[in-house]
Amino acid sequence: MSVLTKKAILIELEKGKEGEDGKGLIITPLEVNQIGPSSVDLHLGNEFIVFRRASITNIDVSDAEKVMRNVHKYQEKVRISKKDNFILHPGQLVLGATQEYVALPKDISATICGRSTWGRTGLIIATATQIAVSFKGCITLELVNNGEIPLVLYPGLRVAQLLLYKTEGECSFESSYQFQTGPEFPKLDKENKYLNLRIKKEQ
């Protein structure tokens, strides 16, 4: 795989404007100044999933049905206005999402990572950084304050950058998180199915 430079990114974006299914790159909304030498800056959206202490003692995917039934006890989705701020405390994990909607073609994958400025404050923006070919949606951000003092975040801040890779060969992508327009609760029931299949194979 090779990283797309600014020139190649602009070419792929032009292909995306042509509207042919599975061809070209779409990132919207997008301004030209977001495109760097080999990456695209992305903004923080205004929806968050906040984790909170609850009466449940753990999250166990082997009992995912129970976990999903009680998800409201330990996770809450909040939306703030674009003029408000969100305070991320040290050690806190919050799910956010990019303001931009991204549609990757069948021959481009991506990774998302933090921008250097925010990394120096202790902000981690993603723990699951790989984005598969043909992904479509706003990208979920796993926001963690790894610093010592609270960070004040605002919708519209450029907190992330997208690195795009040309893949060898084409493939399709299927995911329960496809077409998301904001952060989504983790679908632990899917992991439970994989776990059960693995256990059956080992028996």
DSSP code string of the chain: -EE--HHHHHHHHHHHHTT-TT-S-EEES--GGGB-SS-EEEEB-SEEEEE---S-----GGGHHHHHHTHHHHEEEEE--TTS-EEE-TT-EEEEEEEEEEE--TTEEEEEEE-HHHHTTTEE--SS-EE-TT-EEEEEEEEEE-SSS-EEE-TT-EEEEEEEEE-SS------TTTT-SS-----HHHHHHHHHHHHHHH-
pTM, two decimal places: 0.83
For strand 108-114 and strand 93-103, is the pairing parallel, antiparallel, or unpaired?
A: unpaired
CA distance 155 to 47: 9
Over residues 155-168, the pLDDT tens digits come to: 999 999 999 999 98
Distances (CA, A) of 39 to 86, 163, 194: 26, 5, 34
77-81, 117-121, 198-202: least confident range? 198-202
- Please answer whether residues 191 and 64 qualify as being in contact, where contact means their C-beta atoms are separated by less than 8 angstroms: yes
pLDDT at 184 over 80: no
Residue type, 128: A
Average pLDDT over residues 172-197: 64
Distances (CA, A) of 121 to 8, 127, 148, 150, 159: 31, 17, 9, 10, 11
Residue 142 annotated among the catalytic residues of the structure = yes
Which entry of 100, 142, 184, 202 is annotated as an active-site residue?
Answer: 142
Residue 145: the pLDDT is 96
Kindly indicate the confidence band of residue 76, based on its pLDDT and cuts at 50, 70 and 90: confident
CA distance 54 to 62: 19
- Please answer whether residues 167 and 123 qualify as being in contact, where contact means their C-beta atoms are separated by less than 8 angstroms: no
Over residues 108-145, the pLDDT tens digits come to: 999 999 999 999 999 999 888 999 999 999 999 999 99
CA distance 178 to 176: 6
